[in-house]
Amino acid sequence: MATTRMTMNQNKTVNDQSRPAGLPAGDVSKKGRRIVLFPGAFRPPHKAHFNTVASLSARADIDEVVIIITNRCRHIPGTDSVLENQIAEQIWGLYLQDLNTSNTSIRIEIAAQSAVKQALGYFETSQQADTLLFCAGEKEFKRGTGRFSKIEQLSRKYAISASVIPSPVAELAGGATSMRTHLAAGYAGRDAFMKCLPSHLSRPQCNQVWRLCREGMTKMTDVAIDHIQQILEDNGFNTITSIECLNHNKPDPVFCVLVDNGKRYFVKYANNTVKADQLGKPHGLKPRNRLYAERRVLKCLGQQHSCQIKIPDVVCFDNKTKTLILEDVSRAGRLLEDDLKQGIFDPHIARQTSLFLAMSHSTQPPDEAFWGSHQADREHWETMLRLATIDLKETNSIPISLFKRLGLLHDASLKAAQCGVYHLDYNPRNIFVTNSQISVIDFEMSSSIGDPAFDLGCLVGHYLCWGLINYSRKQCLTSLCEMLDCYRNVMTGKKWVAVSERILPFAATVIISRLIWSEPMLDPVLCGSLLGVATTLLVSGHHQKAVLQKIFTDDSAHLYDADERQRLFKETENEYS
């Protein structure tokens, strides 16, 4: 743990590396000390942060203020870069160097991992005569203890007085996140960034903070690779030949690791990567506990599955660093999406991928929920459903009536949710094929609660898109019919009836999503055709094959007529009610 002590009445900075972690700096008297613990990311610290520390350090009843910086990175919106903890430490040093207090010492610590966890660690190392005060932002304080929910329990356990206190100053609108947004804008965001800095700084000091942040923007992949290499060595892996990032532009990168015996592994690392508390907040980021979910899903399916499809084995899970190391099941394989792009629609692959879904949906999930609790699993499923339906971005080219239908689909699917194992990102980019093997990867979005139609509809939608784009209509129709028949042979009777009416509507969500994100790159005529197909799918009901055959006939132009789409909506107004 890196620790810097700033004794402000002496107006100098002293490195305090030898002091045991968590112990107050300087002489600890028997009368006890009142210590304020101020944990946070501080990427970067802004004027509200500084004013909080200045106000607390000026109080006669406070002996020490400890600023604890989390070791976890913070994402710079719109980029694949992050700010690391050293940036926060340097900026705090600059802020505090001219701060004069007579009684209170101020220290800066970099936490080993979570800043709150390190703050709570003070219970173990403080004296019983001490008082620990945990500083929370105004909004967090009003909501309740939140991050500090364990304080009361730890206070009783160690017989140390403790409480949560609100920040004595108002929070900065947008906080450090808005500052990182300004940072990403470059020179255009510089003035807005400067307005968030403490008022006592000179212009050269403000410029120095700006330069520290701009020059300190680090690629997330570079941060992760350094940590992954050490984790692999600590877990006894052979000499590492190479570590390659597979998705450079994402804030949650996946790495391919090759070791000297020729084996290859996939590594997912979430320890000090950027974080979202919940999927979709903010957009593009994922909660760190997704790796716990993936590990549990793979364990569950590995114990119960007898399908021919291969899924990764979990080679190692390092709980301390939230690192998941998986067997490589894609070597020498090709993405199913690449086949579909080329107009290759293999009925055998369609049957097997559908069978895998049917067996997964029929699998009894373990007592231990994938996301930590059954309520968390349900909330995750509801988030995934919302993102695929009612949260799709509205555009001028897609009629409002279509989005209303998505709302009806969302409500119907919520009611239909049931237990099973649901992939929730089942698309051809997560399926690898060879001449002898089919493999499915990327289970980190899975849940033990869901709607079976969601997974199957997603796969059908991708097949439809490529079948229409490549004009491989006959081959695509044959594969889709095989896919639906195979699923129906497993999910028979009432199970099939309960699922079937939502399969094609969920396929429509895939097409609509593609139109929203890819429309500028698609031919206008093709966009009109895809929109017509999506409309038809949303009102399709139980007769999947008949609808698909109608879509794939050469004389189906009437499906894409705007007036016809409106007529279809009116005829099926109460389909999901």
pLDDT in the model for residue 105:
92
Calculate what percentage of the chain has a pLDDT beyond 90.
56
Q: Is the pLDDT of residue 154 over 70?
A: yes
- Alpha-carbon distance of 36 to 441, in angstroms, equals 46
Q: What's 186's domain CATH number?
A: 3.40.50.620
- Alpha-carbon distance of 511 to 534, in angstroms, equals 6
Same domain, 543 and 417: yes
- Do the domain assignments include residue 278? yes
Q: What does the radius of gyration of the chain's CA atoms come to, in whole angstroms?
A: 28
pLDDT in the model for residue 237:
84
Minimum mean pLDDT range among 51-60, 111-120, 181-190 = 111-120
Question: pLDDT band at 235, cuts 50/70/90?
Answer: confident
Domain interval for residue 390: 330-571
Contacts 24+ apart (CB under 8 A), 196-203: 196/46, 196/47, 196/172, 197/46, 197/47, 198/46, 198/47, 198/50, 198/51, 198/95, 199/47, 200/98, 201/94, 201/95
DSSP string for residues in 224-288? HHHHHHHHHHHTTPPPEEEEEES-TTSSS-EEEEEETTS-EEEEEE-SSS---SBTTBSTT---T
- Do the domain assignments include residue 31? yes
Question: pLDDT band at 251, cuts 50/70/90?
Answer: low
Q: Is the pLDDT of residue 542 over 80?
A: no
543: alpha, beta or left, given left = phi > 0 and alpha = psi -120 to 50?
Answer: beta
Q: Is the pLDDT of residue 17 over 70?
A: no
For 253-269, what is each residue's pLDDT tens digit?
Answer: 789 999 888 889 999 98
Same domain, 207 and 225: no
Tokens of residue 497, six digits: 């009836």
Same domain, 369 and 382: yes
Q: Is the pLDDT of residue 574 over 90?
A: no
Question: pLDDT band at 519, cuts 50/70/90?
Answer: low
Of 328, 355, 371, the residue at which a domain comes to its end is: 328
- Alpha-carbon distance of 323 to 495, in angstroms, equals 38
Q: What's 260's domain CATH number?
A: 3.30.200.20
- Alpha-carbon distance of 130 to 478, in angstroms, equals 74
- Which range has highest mean pLDDT (460-469, 534-543, 562-571)? 460-469
- Alpha-carbon distance of 355 to 362, in angstroms, equals 11
Same domain, 341 and 322: no
Q: Is the pLDDT of residue 229 over 70?
A: yes
- Alpha-carbon distance of 536 to 532, in angstroms, equals 6
What letter does residue 470 receive in the DSSP assignment? T
Specify the DSSP element, H or E, that contains 503: helix 503-518
pLDDT in the model for residue 385:
96
The distance from CA 569 to its chain's CA centroid, rounded to whole angstroms, is: 35
pLDDT in the model for residue 20:
36
Helix (H, G, I), strand (E, B) or coil at 435: coil
pLDDT in the model for residue 520:
59
Q: Interior CA angle at 76 toward 199 and 53, to 5°? A: 35
Amino acid letter for position 386: R
Q: Is the pLDDT of residue 163 over 60?
A: yes
Q: How many domains does the chain have?
A: 3
Average pLDDT of every residue of the chain: 85
- Do the domain assignments include residue 324? yes
Of 171, 198, 216, the residue at which a domain comes to its end is: 216
Of 311, 328, 345, the residue at which a domain comes to its end is: 328
Calculate what percentage of the chain has a pLDDT beyond 70.
85
pLDDT in the model for residue 499:
93
- Do the domain assignments include residue 321? yes
The distance from CA 317 to its chain's CA centroid, rounded to whole angstroms, is: 18
- Do the domain assignments include residue 576? no
Q: What is the dihedral of CA 145, 146, 152, 154, to 10 degrees?
A: -150
pTM of the model: 0.76
Residues 6+ apart with CB under 8 A from 92: 42, 45, 67, 69, 108
Count CA atoms within 13 Å of residue 393 on its CB side.
Answer: 10
pLDDT in the model for residue 504:
95
- Do the domain assignments include residue 39? yes
Same domain, 417 and 525: yes
Q: What is the mean pLDDT of residues 386-405?
A: 84
Same domain, 207 and 251: no
For 287-305, what is each residue's pLDDT tens digit?
Answer: 778 999 999 999 999 877 6
Same domain, 537 and 443: yes
Same domain, 303 and 344: no
Q: In what order do the strands lie in the sheet with 218-219?
A: 74-75, 81-83, 218-219
Q: What's 454's domain CATH number?
A: 3.90.1200.10
Same domain, 373 and 513: yes
Same domain, 50 and 179: yes
Same domain, 386 and 514: yes
- Do the domain assignments include residue 577? no
Closest CA to 138 of 33, 43, 51, 76: 51
pLDDT in the model for residue 11:
32
Task: State yes or no: cis peptide before 520, omega within 30 of 0.
Answer: no
- Do the domain assignments include residue 197? yes
Q: What is the mean pLDDT of residues 205-220?
A: 94
Cβ proximity of 383 and 513 under 8 Å: no
Cβ proximity of 9 and 174 under 8 Å: no
pLDDT in the model for residue 137:
83
Higher pLDDT, 279 or 557: 279
Q: Is the pLDDT of residue 414 over 90?
A: yes
Same domain, 150 and 11: yes
- Which range has highest mean pLDDT (140-149, 273-282, 388-397)? 388-397
pLDDT in the model for residue 22:
42
Q: Is the pLDDT of residue 275 over 60?
A: no
For 476-511, what is each residue's pLDDT tens digit?
Answer: 999 999 999 999 999 988 889 999 999 999 999 999
Tokens of residue 37, six digits: 């613990």
Burial of 189 (0-12, 13-18, 19+ CB in 10 A): middle
Q: Is the pLDDT of residue 184 over 70?
A: yes
Report, in this order, helix, strand and coil percent for the chain, each rounded to 5: 45, 15, 35
pLDDT in the model for residue 521:
62
Q: Checking DSSP bridges between strand 34-40 and strand 131-136, what pairing results, if any?
A: parallel
Q: Is the pLDDT of residue 4 over 90?
A: no
Burial of 217 (0-12, 13-18, 19+ CB in 10 A): middle
Q: Is the pLDDT of residue 212 over 50?
A: yes
Roughly what angle, to the nearest 10 degrees, separates helices 503-518 and 544-551? Answer: 40
